[in-house]
Amino acid sequence: MPFTTADIPDLSGKTAIVTGANSGVGLATARALAGAGARVVFAVRNYDKGQAAARTTPGDTEVSVLDLADLNSVRAFAARWQGPIDLLINNAGISVPALQRTVDGFELQFGTNHLGPFALTNLLLEHITGRVVTVASQSERAGRIDFDDPHDEHHPYKQSRAYNRSKLANLLFTAELQRRLDRAGSKVLEQAAHPGFVASEIYTDSGPFAKLLVRLLAQSPEQGALPVLYAAVADLPGDSFAGPSHLAHMRGAPELINRSAQAKDAELAARLWALSEQLTGTRFPLTTQN
């Protein structure tokens, strides 16, 4: 039978953090987890928008400020945290038409979609007892990482190229984090999820053709949240990649899907991890077992 929100187990007593929970797939994910009894923390850049979203979500919710495009904000969020985390959902993501930079000088999509979640996960990892789910995308297949120019300082900026790069980074991060967790003897699982083609705010600045496709083909945020929830609660091995089952994995009930050869490249993943540590000043905090 296809996975639905009815398959989410009782999460009473569990704590989940959902980044970007004020709208779209993040809000739908937060509502589903809260509906199953979890305490859900809306980790959002705009506190007022987070509060408005949390008020529409029945259950145990709270709002905390987190700007993934500002490493000081990421560190402050992690420093405030107390207690165990059963689920960390790295959902927040952006796509912007013009070159912009984070507070720390990173290209905005790479900084927000990869480096921010990378730092957040490592800073919170000692609190995490269950799973980390990172929202990725099949657009990783067109992604390339130029280690000599990760922030588009020497090449012309292109929105799709920057987005694809950040989504490839998400899957490389997922694989490398699971390898490190396994070597540390941790029971924590790192998963990735592709929501499919979803009508969301990420297409606000898109052109008329993209907006037409959204109107004709996109599924709802509630449907897009299903692969994320599947990755969060289903009986799956670590480093799984969940996505919709139909229309080239763009719509439908969730299932495990494949990824590109470069997303499986352990050497590339290790190289990206080293760069990410250097850029964020954060490290994998667990001790590796011999």
Proportion of the chain above pLDDT 90, given as a percent: 88
The answer to whether position 286 is within a domain reads no
* Residue 285 resides in a domain: no
Percent of the chain with pLDDT over 70: 94
65 within domain boundaries: yes
Q: What is the CATH number of the domain that holds 33?
A: 3.40.50.720
Q: Which domain holds residue 271?
A: 12-278
| 85-90: strand order across its sheet | 61-65, 39-44, 15-19, 85-90, 128-135, 189-193, 241-246, 251-256
Catalytic residues: 163
- What pLDDT score was predicted for residue 203? 55
**Mean pLDDT across 127-151:** 97
As for how many domains the chain has, the answer is: 1
Q: What is the pLDDT of residues 266-282, one digit of tens each?
A: 999 999 999 999 999 99
Say whether pLDDT at 234 is over 60.
yes
- 167 in a structural domain: yes
Flag whether 1 is in a domain: no
Highest mean pLDDT among 2-6, 197-201, 213-217: 2-6
| Domain-embedded: residue 288 | no
Q: Give the CA count within 13 Å in the CB-facing half-sphere of 213.
A: 10
Asked if the structure places residue 18 within a domain, the reply is yes
- Domain-located, residue 94: yes
For residues 6 and 121, what is the distance between their CA atoms, to the nearest angstrom? 28
